Structure 1
Amino acid sequence: MALCVALLIASEFMPVSLLTPIATDLHATEGMAGQAISVSGLFAVVTSLAIASVAGRFDSRRVLMVLTAVMLASLLLIAWASSFTMLMAARALLGVTIGGFWALATATVMRLVPARDVPKALGVLYTGNAVATAFAAPLGSYLGALIGWRGVFLALVPLVGVTLLWQGVSLPSLPPRAARPVGKVFALLKRRHVAFAMVGVMLTFAGAFSAFTYFRPFLESHTRVSVPQLSLLLLGLGVAGFVGTSGAGVLLGRRMDALLRWLPLALAAVTLVLLAVGHVLWAVALALFVWGAVNSAIPVSWSTWLSKAIQDDPESGGGLLVAAIQLSIMLGGALGGALLDHVSIGATFVGAAVLLGAASLLVGDGARIKPLD
């Protein structure tokens, strides 16, 4: 599952490091190319809300394998895209896997390991996230210059094929449980702590991806980096993900509320620092490392919150959490692209910081996102 997560994250966010060549090849603006990430988020939202109902009728092992096969098909279509419309359609297909797999991930982990090991198992799962963040963007940037952006996506195809075979061998049968209607997912929003948490999730991820999606245009226009420098900067950003994931794993047992409150505020501050030191290469490199460490701690923190705050229905809770995250990625990417195209990259980063600051204020001391006794 961690390997599939790594490839899923790599597939979802690879356009970040290939934004400029994709836009040039398909005759689109960089802001439009950024919507290739946003459209996958839209379809991930729909799938994450519906997957609990579908998965409740089938063996979860088979559902996860079908979703992985859909990712394989989407990568082939992305590599063969002859127009911006075809690219968006292929990315929409990828969104189906993103929404379905992530929505089932926490609930599946809860079925695979004892309750006491769930936070540790989630940390292992998110190691796949850190690996992809560490290597996908810099490798995408570097290989894109050698074999083209289409070749980069084709290179992922055999890896996904191996993952699909490995799932068939390693995952045990996970018999279906009672089907959960879509309405049950939305019913969770009637719980006060869940409703507040989902707003906090959306503000956090929208702010993060308003900035993250457009790092390459920022680094090219402000820092004036070459392709090798861009690859190294993105590698540093990704390697920092291991630091953030490990640090969150250590602190989550006793500092979960504090992490959910202060991580977005710290990310907002570093985003503004990036803008301030954008012309100084070494300072940008340091800021990107800190940004990557802080950002990588956020998803595992919210997944741990889910395992504690919605223990009675993790499948529906997982669908709701993923829907909130993917919707915010879509909206954040769209907002960042609009600000980039119509104002400036500076406006994109400031807008991201405002959203992140609002998330920190909403979470507060954590009382709003705790279940009522």
Structure 2
Amino acid sequence: MHLHDVWFVLIAVLWTGYFFLEGFDFGIGVLTKLLARNRPERRVLINTIGPVWDGNEVWLLSAAGGTFAAFPDWYATLFSGFYLPLLAVLVCLIVRGVAFEYRAKRPEENWQRNWEAAIFWASLIPAFLWGVIFGNIVYGVKIDRHFEYTGGLADLLNPYALLGGLTTLLLFTFHGAVFAGLKTSGDIRLRARKLALRMGLPALAVVLGFLLWTQAHSGDAASLVALVVAVAALAAALAVTRAGREGWAFALSGVTVVATVAMLFLSLFPNVMPSTLDSAWSLNVTNAASSPYTLRIMTWCAAIATPVVLLYQGWTYWVFRKRIGTQHIAEAAH
């Protein structure tokens, strides 16, 4: 295996880690409208991710930085051709972070209500757009002989990509509902479990449809295995949620996210951005990669930094592992 193949796998791992962690993070943001009935319950949901949401976004920075350094042509084509949807994601992430920090700074009703609305929309929009973006990456876009994207915004809003957006939105929201059931106590915990059950079958149908379409378009034996794992894990997550096994439900919903992202990358390899104009113009792990020397330096840096990040993030989740409920929210913080 060449280093450019290794770095394709590493970038796939980084994106998988991001979607696993930020998936329930986005889901919690969406649930502030769908699940919470009042301000204390919204505060409970926000507090479940309060200590970790910014750490989850480190995976996005690592994935984007790794793509820039390991596959500069991929990075250039992706971030220039997909400028508007990626800019929308960036703006939402900024607004979302500001909303988390500013929401409780003033007691006025309008102030807090507006920031809560910002959390909802700045979670829902990226949860949808990431599926649209990766749907286009896997299905292919208009790339010319100079490896430049020649399409427009309307080309990115094709049926397959829109189904991908609906898939990530429903899957992340289900993932968030399961996480809310795992991390909360009292009535909101029971309602989170019920909401996860109500969302489960629609999510399962949409995920199955999107992955079958992916398999028919560019799948192979390995991607078929990932498809089976994703669907089976989601069905099992529903079963254990019904049984009240919240820890297992979260683990299985996480397996669904991991297997879904893995299938996308397995379907993509060895390409990194297929061209729908001419397959010879597709970006792949060979023609989009940096020099072997650059990749060797990056590999040593990743080998040193990755364990540190994993240990720190694992410690953070361990420290903040306990459940919380409305009884833990001070009256002044509502």
| Interval containing the TM-score (normalised by the shorter chain) | 0.3 to 0.5
Q: TM-score, normalised by structure 2?
A: 0.38
Who wins on radius of gyration, i.e. which is larger?
Answer: 2
Q: TM-score, normalised by structure 1?
A: 0.34
Normalized per residue, the structure richer in helix is 1
More RCO (CA 8 Å, sep 6+): 1
